[in-house]
Structure 1
């Protein structure tokens, strides 16, 4: 059988995603990634350069995945938030990776962070151009949309970052029951946050 480089890279990526989500950057072991990927360590270094670069590649790809699968539509913010909530529930590894990043590599401004900033700038401009904060003076709209986006993402992410606390606060027996309640609440809060004051809507 001919060597399939792309298949090897995919197996390494999948194994690394699981390894980093479970153990973080410092705790992850290249040996385990190689074993679980049915690959050798040399292939990991050949394709990704280092464990740190592999972690960055995994996180970047996961963020691009959620960005491509579920974005916030200016005319349907609440519905979009529900879709993003569902995506996070189906892909719990992203929150874990972000938490590990915050604990282990926070404060480093590199190329990947610049890419992330550029991506969020596009999302913010999309919200502004879509009329989400048109009730505000023009010079305030960008900052308001940034705050709205950050607040919404926080409302979503918190539920998956500390599921046990949510379960305890809501006095539910399971994470599933707590998340079902939280989804409804987060969607409704997002709807209210995105709504322009009635008196300031065009035509009034």
Structure 2
């Protein structure tokens, strides 16, 4: 059977995503990634260069997944927020990766950062084109739309960053009940935030 480089690369990537989400960058082990991927450690270094570069590739791909899968529809912000909430519920690894990135990588500019900025600028532009903060001058509209986007992201992601706290604060018996409540609250809050003042 011929060696399939793309299949090996995919298996390494999938195993690394699980390993990094569970253990972070510092705690992840290349030998565990290799074992889970049924690949050798040399293949990891060949395809990705280093553990740090593999972590960056996983995080970049996960962010691209959410960007491609969910958009903020300026005309239907509440519905978009519901879709984003559901996406994060189905892909909890992204929040964990972002938390590990914040804890371990910090604020150092990283590979792909310009792509991330461009993607977020595109979403902000969509909000502005649809009339977000239309009562403000251009520069203030950009800033208000950036703040709106980041606030919505925070409203969604915090539920998945601290699910136990969510359940305890809401005094719900299960995480599912707490998240169902939060989903409705987040949608309504986003609707209010995105509604222009009278």
Q: TM-score, normalised by structure 1?
A: 0.95
Cα shift at 1:148: 0.2
Q: Secondary structure at the match of 1:111?
A: coil
User: Does 1:117 pair with 2:117?
Assistant: yes
Cα shift at 1:117: 1.4
Alignment of 1:73-152 (within 5 A): 73-152=73-152
User: Does 1:165 pair with 2:134?
Assistant: no
Q: Secondary structure at the match of 1:149?
A: helix
Cα shift at 1:137: 2.5
Corresponding residue for residue 27 of structure 1: 27
Corresponding residue for residue 36 of structure 2: 36
Q: TM-score, normalised by structure 2?
A: 0.98
User: Does 1:50 pair with 2:81?
Assistant: no
Give the Cα separation in 2 of the matches to 1:146 and 1:139: 11
Report the count of equivalent residues: 198
Give the Cα separation in 1 of the matches to 2:81 and 2:50: 35
Tell me how large the CA RMSD over aligned residues is: 0.8
User: Does 1:9 pair with 2:45?
Assistant: no
Give the Cα separation in 1 of the matches to 2:77 and 2:133: 12
Give the Cα separation in 1 of the matches to 2:115 and 2:27: 26
Q: Secondary structure at the match of 2:72?
A: coil
Cα shift at 1:128: 0.5
CA contact (8 A) 2:56 2:111 kept: no
Cα shift at 1:115: 1.8
Give the Cα separation in 1 of the matches to 2:15 and 2:97: 14
Cα shift at 1:30: 0.3
Corresponding residue for residue 60 of structure 1: 60
Q: Secondary structure at the match of 1:184?
A: helix
Cα shift at 1:111: 3.0
Corresponding residue for residue 155 of structure 2: 155
Corresponding residue for residue 180 of structure 1: 180
Give the Cα separation in 1 of the matches to 2:121 and 2:138: 16
Q: Any unmatched runs of 5+ in structure 2?
A: none
Cα shift at 1:197: 1.9
Cα shift at 1:134: 1.2
